[in-house]
Each structure stands twice: as structure tokens, then as C-alpha cells.
Amino acid sequence: MTQHRLPISQTLKSALLLGASLLAAPALQADTGTQTEALYQQHCASCHGTDRLGGMGPALLPENLSRLRQTEAEKAILDGRPATQMPAFGDTLSQESVAALANFIYQPPEVTPVWGEQEILNSHLLPHPKGSLPNEPVFEADMMNLFLVVEIGDHHVTLLDGDTMEPIHRFESRYALHGGPKYSPDGRYVYFGSRDGWITKYDLYNLKVVAEVRAGINMRNIAVSADGNYVMAANYLPHTLVLFDATNLGLMDVIPVENGTGDSSRVSAVYAAPPRGSFIAALKDIPEAWEISVTDAKANVRRMQTDTWLDDFFFDPGYDHLIGAARDGKHGHVINLDTGNTVANLPLPGMPHLGSGITWEYRGKRVMATPHFRTGAVSVIDMDNWEVIKTLETEGPGFFMRSHENSPYAWVDVFFGPNKDKVHIIDKQSLEIVKTLQPAPGKVAAHVEFDRHGEKLLLSVWDKDGAVIVYDADTLEEEKRIPMNKPSGKYNVWNKINYEEGTSH
């Protein structure tokens, strides 16, 4: 079932504007910059904004389009986008005009766009304020064993019953969700973040979007505080962290991200640090890590200077240390979060993807494991002395790693290269690969999430004509395939709200 977030009047207005633009005077040929801009204003601005910052459609700025090839953008203009309101312009515009338009949207605007307090406040949508919807779920299921599956192929989310592995509901999301959705501590609400800066709060009891706000123009991810009171957004554009009250997504604070001498930085990501009652932010352009706490409705920043630029964080279970990947792609730095000092420097030569690391008990001690973006390897690290105890060779660089406390196995995909359709299964005690699956030859197989009990797991076939595959976690046998449109991440309510050791947080 598709659900539209915009108030009807706004949707109608946009549709009328779009209709008017399509009926406008004969299409211009775009042979100068001015003509292309005029074409943009005529055909695109009603949905994507006169300033390209987005509206009903996504923002069309180079930062936001970095993941879409220009030829794909041309195709979208020519053919439209199925399951969205993007129409086909193939009959209206010449091939040259389409190419000129596609080129235009990849150029930076003359004036750097602004997204400050006023823009954030103006974007706020509150269709169902707290307390206005019933407190009982509208369907029957173990509410702790629900999964959300993000389908990036057509920007939808599917809600799955984790006992029956049957879809319960499917709804439209904002364009290009990225990073894990974050649940409220009781599991009733979930917060999604889109690359375009939208935060959506969704009520899983009532299957409705209850609040939305746009935190930035190009956002990385969001985090929800352990007490469930706050949501924080990390932006690339502008260089800000933004704090909201989690109840209705009301704006609380905009934090400019800069060092003592006024150099500003993109924020790579923000994470909740539950035992510390704080947020931790990774900064892309200045060698600092930030710890942010909230007092009297304001964010307070504690700066930790780091030896180098650190990205992509992982934390030990007590949140005493953070492990960050150095920009050189060859090291992991371990920072003591109380002192801010670097306590270890790990050789991790293949650009580790620490964000997808997991931990488990191995011979009486805790280890963490991470795949690498550039090398076909999984590093296993002793978390007592921060030494790499094993480097497992895989059939190519991986993206995501997963396990569950109740499972003897860890799963890692081979996301890049000729073996992108393979997934390795690692025995957590022998530290050996015991099985390699190739569920859909030629198609990327990636990202696993277990059910709350660790008995079954879901794996994505990352394709428009894809599926989520259900496996038995012990026998490793396939049980069924649920067709989906480029399913990416899967997120189990219980595992997330209990900070299960085998999954991301």
C-alpha cells in the first residue's frame, strides 16, 4: 500500500504546476546555460524546487546526485521513474535538451544553498501529533520480532512479520534512505533518514507517518538517544549537526560544525552512546571526534582532538572506546572516550568498514570483526589488547557483517568485484569460513539480519528484480524468497532496541 506524505493541497498544487509546465509553450532547445536554466524552471522546478533543493522530488545538486550516474539521470528524465510521480519527458524534450538538463543538475549552484533554522522550521510536517493515534497495534504479530526492509529500488519500506516471514505492510519512503532506521526504545516508532535530509517518524502500531522534518540538504544519518528523547542528524551540507525532540521532531538546536579557528567540517555520521547518555560524531574534514550531550534543551559539545582524520566509527560494548578508520585507509585508531587519548593504532590495511563491525565471545575474551572496502579480508581484533588476531581471506571486499548471540556463525558479503554474488559464513570459534553461498548468480547478495531469537536470518538479493531470502540460521538452508525491489538493509526491532552484539546500532 502506498502512502503519500504531503498534505493533499500541496500535492495537488505540485501536480497542477507540473501539468501547467508540461502544457507550456513549445519546448525550448537548450543550447546555452540560460536556456537550460529556463528549461529547468519550466519543467523541473515545480517538483524539485526553483533552487534545486528538492520539493516533492529529491534535491538535484551534485552532492545529492553523487550516487547516480549522469546517464541514469538522463534516462530518468526521458522515461520517468516508475512508482513515483516523476513523469517521462521523452515526448516533450529533445535528446539534446535532456542531456543539457542532466548536465545542468550536476553543476554546483552559483550561490551555496542555505539550510538553517528557518528552513528547518518551515519544513516541519506533523500529520499526527503525539497522543492523537490509538495505542494498540492495528495488526497482530510479535511486535518485538518485526523487521523493516528498506527497498531502495523504488524507495519503499516493507514491514515483515519475523515469526511467519510474511509482509504485513509496504509504504513509500523519502527518496534514498541511508543508514539504519532507528527505533524508539519501546519499539513502537521508527525514525528514517534520507540522503536528502528528511527525517521521518513512523508509528508501527498505526502504520502511519506521524512527523517529518528536513534537517539538511545532504544528510548522512540520524541517531536516537538511548532514553528516546532526542534525534540528532549529521549533515554533509550544510556543515551542521541538528538536534530534535523525538516526540514530534520539533527543532531544538542547530550546531555549526567547526574547529577553534573557524574551519568547518562535514559530519560523516552520528551515533548514540547509550551508557554515556550522549551522542558521538565523526567529522570528515577536521581531526576531531565530538561527544555531544543535551542539557536544558541545548547541545553541549566536548571535542576530542585526534591524531588524524577519522571516519566510520565502531564502539566497544561499554562505549569506553571508539575505533575509527584513519583517512589513509590503512589504520584503525582506538580512542579512550573518557580521556580522549589515542590508546592503540591497528594495522587495518584494506580500508576497514568499521561501521558494520560486530563483536562476540572467543576463548573467554571479546573480539570484534570488520570487513574491508578495498581488500578481500575480514580482520578479527582482540578488544582487550587491541591486537589483530586473525585476517581471514575472502573472495573480495565486503560491505556488511552480521551475526547473533545465539548463532555460531558470522555472515559477511562480498559486495565488490567479480564475486559480488557470494556470501561467506564464518565459524565464530574456529575463525574459518565454513560455507560460501551464491544465492543468485550475477546479482549482489548482501546484508544479513537475524530474527530476535537468532534462529532465522534474512539476506538481500540487491537487485530491482531482487528478493529477501530467509535462511535457517543453524542448518544454513534456504527456506523461502520474498520478492523485493533492490532490498538493502533489514532491521529487527528486538535486536536493535537491545543492542544485540551481532548487529549494527
Nearer to ligand DHE, 43 or 486 (CB): 486
Q: Which helix (H) or strand (E) holds 262?
A: none
288 binds ligand DHE per the rule CB under 6 A: no
* Phi, psi at 144, each rounded to 5°: -90, -10
Q: Which of 312, 395, 421, 451 binds ligand DHE (CB under 6 A)?
A: 312
49 binds ligand DHE per the rule CB under 6 A: no
Write the burial class of residue 455 (CB in 10 Å: 0-12 exposed, 13-18 middle, 19+ buried).
middle
Number of residues that bind ligand DHE (CB under 6 A): 15
Grid-cell match 545542468, residue found: 104
In the complex, minimum distance from the CB of residue 370 to ligand DHE, in angstroms, rounded to a whole number: 13
In the complex, minimum distance from the CB of residue 140 to ligand DHE, in angstroms, rounded to a whole number: 27
Nearer to ligand DHE, 428 or 447 (CB): 447
In the complex, minimum distance from the CB of residue 496 to ligand DHE, in angstroms, rounded to a whole number: 9
Q: Distance of alpha carbon 218 from its chain centroid, rounded?
A: 12
Q: Do 371 and 329 form a contact (C-beta atoms < 8 A)?
A: no
Q: Map the footprint of ligand DHE across residues 146-175, applying CB under 6 A.
A: 152
What mask, x for binding ligand DHE by CB under 6 A, covers residues 230 to 269?
--------------------------------------xx
Give the cell for residue 383.
578488544
221 binds ligand DHE per the rule CB under 6 A: yes
Residues in the chain, how many? 505
Q: Map the footprint of ligand DHE across residues 381-410, applying CB under 6 A.
A: 399
Beta bridge partners of 209: 202
Concatenated DSSP letters of 14-59: HHHHHHHHHHSSSPPP--SHHHHHHHHHHHTHHHH-TTSS-SSSPP
Give the cell for residue 228.
528516546
355 binds ligand DHE per the rule CB under 6 A: yes
178 binds ligand DHE per the rule CB under 6 A: yes
194 binds ligand DHE per the rule CB under 6 A: no
Helical residues (DSSP H) of 44-186, grouped into ranges: 45-48, 70-79, 95-105, 117-123
Angle between helices 33-43 and 8-23 (to 10 degrees): 130
Nearer to ligand DHE, 298 or 464 (CB): 464
485 binds ligand DHE per the rule CB under 6 A: no
Q: Which of 488, 493, 500, 502 binds ligand DHE (CB under 6 A)?
A: 488
> How far is the CA of 19 from the CAs of 7, 12, 14, 49, 97, in angstroms?
18, 10, 8, 15, 19
504 binds ligand DHE per the rule CB under 6 A: yes
Q: What residue ranges bind ligand DHE (CB under 6 A)?
A: 67, 152, 178-180, 221, 268-269, 312, 355, 399, 447, 488-489, 504
